Amino acid sequence: MVTADEIRSIALSFPETEEHDHWDKPSFHVRSKIFAVIQPDGVSLVIKTTKEDRVAYTTMDPDVYQMPESFQNLAFMIVRMDRIQRDECRNMFMLAWSLVAPKKVFKAFNETLGFK
């Protein structure tokens, strides 16, 4: 299980991430591009992904990863915060952040992790 405070901590650990309200919900952005939104129910997180990864995750573990009908044309999915492990959640944030971060920022961050 991951709490909203842990989500906030994970999200803000990535370079240039800022928190803003999005329709009265906490959302996380890089240069005005949203990559995650905590939902008011306190257990759901909308997170950026690729459509291909979304199919894989929602098929692999539909109890944790879900895609409402209204998301068919969006590259986002819902993650159940009450059913995901912290390390897996951090990996999901890394992917989501990498999809919206500028290439130079992403490259510099990867280099700090020892990747080239």
pLDDT band of residue 110 (cuts 50, 70, 90) is: confident
**Nearest C-alpha neighbor of 17 from the set 48, 39, 42, 43:** 48
- The DSSP letter of residue 20 is E
Which pair of tokens denotes residue 48?
Answer: 């950026």
Mean pLDDT of 107-113: 86
Measured in degrees and rounded to the nearest 5, phi and psi for residue 13 equal: -80, -15
Domain coordinates of the chain in residue numbers? 4-103
**Is a pLDDT exceeding 80 seen at residue 114?**
no
**Nearest C-alpha neighbor of 75 from the set 103, 46, 41:** 46
Fold of the domain spanning 4-103: Aspartate Aminotransferase, domain 1 (3.90.1150)
Which percentage of the chain shows pLDDT scores above 70? 98
pLDDT band of residue 113 (cuts 50, 70, 90) is: confident
**Nearest C-alpha neighbor of 16 from the set 107, 115, 97, 72:** 97
pLDDT band of residue 115 (cuts 50, 70, 90) is: low
Q: What is the pLDDT of residues 14-64, one digit of tens each?
A: 999 999 999 999 999 999 999 999 999 999 999 999 999 999 999 999 999
Q: Check residue 104 and give its pLDDT.
A: 95
* Mean per-residue pLDDT over the chain, rounded: 94
